[in-house]
Amino acid sequence: MSSVITVAIPSIAPRTTLLARALASVATQNNPAVAVSIAFDTAREGAPATRDRALAGVTTTWVAFLDDDDEMNPEHLQALMMHAETTGADLVYPWYDVVGGMDPFPQWEHDAWCDSAPHQVPVTFLARTDAIRAVGGFHTTGMQAKDLTLASTRGATGQVRTTG
């Protein structure tokens, strides 16, 4: 696998232990990232603005997002990159395993992307860096302020696919 990936992580100071766990999961990837871009929210700007600042530090073709309180399974980047290369998609997303809680979006598990009925995807997606920048990164207002508004992303990136 020749594609180059940076993992972008937004974080806040009280989560240093969680951030260390997230970074450890990045370090154990079968298809390792070449860089990690971490942005700290010191001004209480919220996750979207902090993700945008982490994105600003990315210089690779691909970016994978990971919140500081999440972790990647060892095959995460490899599976997403293989799916992106196979489908030609500019953005691919997995589903996730919830440990110690409930899935907040069970209705969308394994649902293929549908342009006429877009839905929120897990933040642990992989995308072409230029495609995410082309749509202005993460929106900081509105219904999907926490995550990228994928309806507008689809128009700029061409294809959105799920690995599930």
Domains in the chain: boundaries: 5-162
The per-residue pLDDT for 153 is: 43
Torsion angles phi and psi, residue 45, rounded to 5: -80, -25
18-38 mean pLDDT: 96
Identify the pLDDT of residue 90.
Answer: 86
Banded pLDDT at 105 (limits 50, 70, 90): low
pLDDT at 163 over 90: no
Q: Own/partner pairs for 137-142, CB < 8 Å, 24+ apart?
A: 137/48, 137/51, 137/52, 137/55, 138/47, 138/48, 138/49, 138/51, 138/52, 138/55, 139/48, 140/45, 140/46, 140/48, 140/49
For residue 87, what pLDDT is reported?
Answer: 84
What global pTM score does this model have?
0.81
Tell whether the model's pLDDT for residue 157 goes beyond 70: no
Residue 81 has pLDDT above 50, yes or no: yes
Instruction: Please tell me the CATH code under which domain 5-162 is placed.
Output: 3.90.550.10
